[in-house]
Amino acid sequence: MNMQTTISPAPADDLPLMLPGRPEMRYNFPKAWRHFKNLIKDKENTAEVYPIFEALPWRGIYDAALAFLQSERGQAIRKAEPSLVSLLDDRSKLRAMPQGSLAWHYCEFMDREGLSAQGLVDELDKYRPAEHYFDDQVTWYFNRLRDTHDLLHVLTGFGRDALGEQCVLAFTYSQQPALAHLFLGYAGALEIKKQVKSGAPVFGAVREAQRMGKACPRLVEMPISELLPLPIEEVRARLNITPAGRYAAAHQVWRGMGIDPYDLIAPEAKAA
């Protein structure tokens, strides 16, 4: 799993490993804070999120991508899975896999939420400057970081509710340590605590998610096509993903208060 075997140079008709000219990964805290304040003013303005990730990046991302791509295992996965989008959006093929498999649960989740892998690509491409695209193997690695997002929801059991999204951010930080994941995850948890006064273990759930992500090998570096047909509990066991107890406990507290975790504004607040 951690093989670092150096491979021979790519064939002439293959993508280059990493093109020159990629921007250096640097922190820009004033920029992050400026866009975060704009996001707080309008939480639906997702255009503010991309600049936060630009300002608080994973500084070691090039090293991680190159280490994986310069291994025999990394190249084997790249050749077998040139595009996760086409793999994950082939619902007929995924639906033909056994009930209870990761593929089956993924389809259930995506259909229920009205999502598609291509939809996430289209959404993020609205904000990515054209000059940030490089036609190389590192881009393939970057794309997998994006395309495994909804698989993380399915594998961890974190829903698309407010707390579930913060937990996925914290889990992802341990997989892809961009400060933006951690910053947004805990900032979002603080907003939840401010919005709904309760004993729900909101910060405990986020911290638990961060620990879960650390225990799990990087999903981006796993052979997704081999995991999809397997029973989801077997996949979780292989990846050391344990049940998210504090997340479930927070939902239980809110439901006991008559609050839907997927709509954290209490009924009386709505009526006010």
Q: Does 75 lie in the same domain as 29?
A: no
Tokens 């304040």 — which residue?
37
Q: Is 93 left (phi over 0), alpha (psi -120 to 50) or beta?
A: alpha
- Based on its alpha-carbon atoms, the radius of gyration of the chain, rounded to whole angstroms, reads 19
What pLDDT does residue 3 have?
34
Distance of alpha carbon 125 from alpha carbon 162, whole angstroms: 23
Q: Does 109 lie in the same domain as 42?
A: no
Q: Does 170 lie in the same domain as 212?
A: yes
Q: Does 80 lie in the same domain as 27?
A: no
Q: Does 203 lie in the same domain as 109?
A: yes
Tens of pLDDT, residue by residue, the chain (272 residues): 333 333 334 443 589 999 999 999 999 999 999 999 898 888 778 788 889 999 999 999 999 999 999 999 999 999 999 999 999 999 999 999 999 999 999 999 999 999 999 999 998 888 777 667 899 999 999 999 999 999 999 999 999 999 999 999 999 999 999 999 999 999 999 999 999 999 999 999 999 999 999 999 999 999 999 999 999 999 999 999 999 999 999 999 999 999 999 998 544 444 33
In one letter, which amino acid is 106? Answer: Y
Q: Provide CB contacts within 8 A for 9, sequence distance 6+.
A: none
Q: Does 110 lie in the same domain as 94?
A: yes
- The closest alpha carbon to 224, from 131, 159, 152, 169, belongs to 152
Distance of alpha carbon 19 from alpha carbon 187, whole angstroms: 35
Give CA separation, 251 vs 11, 158, 263, in Å. 52, 11, 11
What pLDDT does residue 13 have?
53
What domain range includes position 101? Answer: 62-259
Give the other-Cβ count within 10 Å of 126's Cβ. Answer: 9
- Whether residue 228 lies inside any domain: the answer is yes
What pLDDT does residue 42 have?
82
Q: Does 149 lie in the same domain as 92?
A: yes
- Whether residue 12 lies inside any domain: the answer is no
- Whether residue 230 lies inside any domain: the answer is yes
- Whether residue 6 lies inside any domain: the answer is no
Are 189 and 181 spatial neighbours (Cβ–Cβ below 8 Å)? no
Q: Does 129 lie in the same domain as 36?
A: no
Q: Does 44 lie in the same domain as 171?
A: no
Distance of alpha carbon 142 from alpha carbon 124, whole angstroms: 12
Q: Provide CB contacts within 8 A for 85, sequence distance 6+.
A: 117, 118, 121, 143, 147
* Structural domain count of the chain: 2
- Whether residue 15 lies inside any domain: the answer is no
b/e per residue, 187-202, with b = 16+ CB within 10 A?
A: ebbebbeeebebebbb
Using CA atoms in the order 113, 118, 123, 129, what is the torsion angle rounded to 10 degrees? Answer: 160
What pLDDT does residue 265 have?
56
Are 198 and 258 spatial neighbours (Cβ–Cβ below 8 Å)? no
- Whether residue 269 lies inside any domain: the answer is no
Q: Is 7 left (phi over 0), alpha (psi -120 to 50) or beta?
A: beta
- Whether residue 193 lies inside any domain: the answer is yes
What pLDDT does residue 44 have?
74
Q: Provide CB contacts within 8 A for 268, sequence distance 6+.
A: none
- Whether residue 171 lies inside any domain: the answer is yes
Q: Does 254 lie in the same domain as 196?
A: yes
